[in-house]
Amino acid sequence: MVLNIFTENGVELPTIESADKSENPTAVAKFSNGKWCWFIIGGKELSDGDFYLYGLVNGIEKELGMFTLKQILEAGAELDKDFTPVGVFDIYDDFDLRYWFWWCYYGNEADKSNWWY
């Protein structure tokens, strides 16, 4: 069972659905193992005490994805207790990442020219 590291450290974890509706979703927590960083946007607690999370992973490449807290901790990552919540695209202002986020939310009907700001 994974400890509720979010509650213990005062991190309010939005649901994945609510976090996914923003044009610049807020990363509420950051984990790092010195090589990779996981910026948590939202999640939900699972019945076994683990968390299913959605966020930005900066590893071999930058990508938005789903992972569990247990996977992050098994990779040797620790919570950055000094992290201040910030918009994901303020961390990495990357056109391809923004388009990928938009495409995942709105599907392949997304028209890049109408949403870029």
- pLDDT tens track for 50-108: 999 999 898 888 888 899 999 999 999 999 999 999 888 777 765 455 555 554 554 44
Q: What is the pLDDT of residue 22?
A: 74
Q: What is the pLDDT of residue 49?
A: 87
Owning domain of residue 67: 5-108
Domain membership of residue 114 (yes or no) is no
Q: How big is the CA angle at 36 (ends 102 and 3), to the nearest 5 degrees?
A: 90
Domain membership of residue 21 (yes or no) is yes
Structural domain count of the chain: 1
Domain membership of residue 82 (yes or no) is yes
Q: What is the dihedral of CA 40, 26, 18, 11, to 10 degrees?
A: 60
Domain membership of residue 93 (yes or no) is yes
User: Can you say how many angstroms the Cα of residue 90 is from the centroid of all Cα atoms in its chain?
Assistant: 13
Residue 77 φ/ψ region, left for φ over 0, alpha for ψ in the -120 to 50 degree band, beta for the rest = beta
Domain membership of residue 115 (yes or no) is no
Q: What is the pLDDT of residue 29?
A: 93
Domain membership of residue 117 (yes or no) is no
pTM of the model: 0.76
Q: How confident is the model at residue 1 (pLDDT cuts 50, 70, 90)?
A: very low
Q: What is the pLDDT of residue 39?
A: 92
SS3 state of residue 24: coil
Residue among 79, 98, 2 nearest 40 (CA): 79
Domain membership of residue 69 (yes or no) is yes
